[in-house]
Structure 1
């Protein structure tokens, strides 16, 4: 019977065969302990000299790290292991012998590990991070599918910037200028006018020359847009969604969080509603915390966000930022036109902004005014303007950065470990 490590709980007391790689091994006289991995998980195989033929025991003693093999044996429960099971090996079959595997069981620097990212992904910690990432993606689809959203895929190649920013990757689209998308939002607004509630999930690109632990050049965004929803409606969706994702990871990634040594007590309290603080009050709070240089009208940096988050145990919304430091499409507060009906969601424990969102301008005349103020002339944005011309409605949306969310939930210091093959300022390899 062939099976996988993730399924061995079904075969306790039975003999099975697993195709695996050798992650590590140790031996003690007449017993060899093989740390096996097969992509679905990690498990120990115990090879007792008296229970196998001489050839199999010699192989168990001498097999090299990351060699591939078929392992056959009986599954038994093992209360000492976090996994809970191990294999009493009866036979081994070598598939391929790995020679001089570069990532040995010792400390390696981050640049060395990033140079060998294609191999580093095999390690137990990196495997756990990717499993957490996968669960966040699964829970995302579950949340939006069960709440009546339609998934729409916006283009990656665009003729304009969603944010009106210059931090874009330029390319030629035959004889036209084109850019790699930094957000699918504008297209999702069009989709919301057709389907009501929509979401996208895909790669986005920022040509931002930043080296911080929170930034990637290529990252993945979840971007919902919702017709007939105002700013407060959107905040409720955001906190319900994030709560669902966190609780799903806690439920379905217990072993991975244990491998990552994540303090899950800090995640167990992540349930809606989340606290909210206005930008005005956030500036006051920062001044009280010793940030005397911050002035009203300035955007917050990482130290500011961390200081604000320290006052709360849950993610916190910072709302009503000054209109002048936000994107052209954000709806001004009708009671106070110098601030926008917007919010950033700041994760606890110093992980920074994970969501940015707002109510969008729905008035054609106001949007035309914003176009003029931001110099958005020509045909590139004409289609977006027409969304306010033909059946405009109040609508809101937000974008969640997947990698920052993975970093927070998994307790990982740097976002470079939260994506399979990170693209950083000085890294396009492997």
Structure 2
């Protein structure tokens, strides 16, 4: 027995005898040969069992192994140009670690999405889902690398909050001991504003929760979001940070997963190659004109929905930045444009190919009196925001930030129709299991 090797590192062991630990994905037989597809989490390799190279017991056993049998396989690494990974394993020995108690429920045939979601804990073993989760891992690492390399400090925001950023209509309410009600966070932004006044450049990265009753392909009840916040930054600086960030994340994922994206997910990677700064920038007013010309019945002041986002994004070969939305559409903390108080200094980044908004953010109101008036206007409980107002009472400065949902970004990079495949265990309006 040799120290175990991972399939991903197989090229380093050409011509050597090695041992693999894994699970049987598929098998077929041809006379004196059994072909076993072994996966180990890092990749899949074909293990060839030749009758003349193993004991009769091993050869016999190899012909009756059910899908998802746990195996330890020892053999010689051989180059094979026909293999997707360029190598195969010439088996010398095989040991069964465990056999499935019954037939694996997900066979090598088409299954409906509803069935697969019920079997999500097992569906993760499919090659497609493995690739998606590896891309997600790369995206999350790229997010951290981008900010860490630029001097940002990671600050963890609380999950329980006493109040909402934008009202309580889309929050999960939970009892909180003798203090009454608390809410599951929908954003760490307000806390990042406090942290930015201490550390200058910060970001939080964690789960967020939205109780809106939406069943669209872009929505989840629980999702992960990254939210940077920077002191002494205006909207222009914020938009520049957005496009640099998106470009870095997408190009990092493309560089690492180009082959998997193209072959396993059948993603047109040429679409991702265009995702490089600078991005086109248009105002909300200009976006409305584009939408109206396309025949959509939209007027100035209306929200830009999913269909309208697609119309705008279709005009460009990379993400487009739509800025200066009507102030009445935005949350209380957005700063209004001094040149036109009807609009807020906010920006959304719309991904191409119908994937919609992946980033939302902008410049925050830094004037105490203006922010107090905005809280009153939105009929929010002022007492709950006294700590937030303190940030304007003591050393207030211009500042800006944004939020990006990981799942929407991964769905776009992978070319997926629905965000439910981008997270290991999706939580949606109609699903809380497995």
Q: TM-score range by the shorter chain?
A: over 0.9
Match for residue 373 of structure 1?
A: 377
Task: Tell me the secondary structure at the aligned position of residue 296 of structure 1.
Answer: coil
Q: Is the 8 A contact 1:354 1:405 kept in 2?
A: yes
- Cα distance, 1:34 vs. partner? 1.0
Task: Tell me the secondary structure at the aligned position of residue 72 of structure 1.
Answer: strand
Match for residue 11 of structure 2?
A: 9
Match for residue 81 of structure 1?
A: 83
Question: d(CA) in 1 for partners of 2:171 and 2:390?
Answer: 24
Structure 1 runs of 4+ aligned residues shifted over 4 Å read none
The match for 2:173 among 161, 170, 173 is 170
Question: d(CA) in 2 for partners of 1:189 and 1:378?
Answer: 17
The match for 2:425 among 414, 421, 427 is 421
Task: Tell me the secondary structure at the aligned position of residue 125 of structure 1.
Answer: helix
Question: d(CA) in 2 for partners of 1:42 and 1:95?
Answer: 18
Q: Is the 8 A contact 1:129 1:256 kept in 2?
A: no
Q: Is the 8 A contact 2:376 2:382 kept in 1?
A: no
- Cα distance, 1:81 vs. partner? 2.2
2:307 is equivalent to residue 303 of structure 1: yes
1:251-279 deviation line (CA, Å, top 9, x unaligned): 11133213111111111111100001111
Provide TM-score, normalisation by structure 2: 0.97
The match for 2:212 among 205, 208, 211 is 208
Match for residue 290 of structure 2?
A: 285
Match for residue 264 of structure 2?
A: 259
Q: Is the 8 A contact 1:151 1:200 kept in 2?
A: yes
Structure 2: runs of 5 or more not aligned: none
Task: Tell me the secondary structure at the aligned position of residue 313 of structure 1.
Answer: coil
Question: d(CA) in 1 for partners of 2:280 and 2:81?
Answer: 41
Q: How does 1:113-262 map to 2 (within 5 A)?
A: 113-175=116-178, 176-257=180-261, 258-262=263-267
2:405 is equivalent to residue 401 of structure 1: yes
Q: Is the 8 A contact 1:13 1:75 kept in 2?
A: yes
The match for 2:73 among 68, 71, 75 is 71
Task: Tell me the secondary structure at the aligned position of residue 242 of structure 1.
Answer: helix
- Cα distance, 1:165 vs. partner? 4.0
Which deviates more, 78-87 or 135-144?
78-87
Question: d(CA) in 1 for partners of 2:59 and 2:274?
Answer: 50
- Cα distance, 1:6 vs. partner? 1.2
Provide TM-score, normalisation by structure 1: 0.98
2:96 is equivalent to residue 100 of structure 1: no
2:278 is equivalent to residue 273 of structure 1: yes
- Cα distance, 1:164 vs. partner? 2.2
Task: Tell me the secondary structure at the aligned position of residue 391 of structure 1.
Answer: coil
Task: Tell me the secondary structure at the aligned position of residue 62 of structure 1.
Answer: coil
Q: Is the 8 A contact 1:278 1:318 kept in 2?
A: yes
- Cα distance, 1:69 vs. partner? 0.8
- Cα distance, 1:113 vs. partner? 0.2
- Cα distance, 1:7 vs. partner? 1.4
Question: d(CA) in 2 for partners of 1:394 and 1:29?
Answer: 75
- Cα distance, 1:82 vs. partner? 2.3
* Number of residue equivalences: 429
Q: Is the 8 A contact 1:164 1:328 kept in 2?
A: no
CA RMSD across the alignment: 0.9
Q: Is the 8 A contact 1:305 1:346 kept in 2?
A: yes
Structure 1: runs of 5 or more not aligned: none
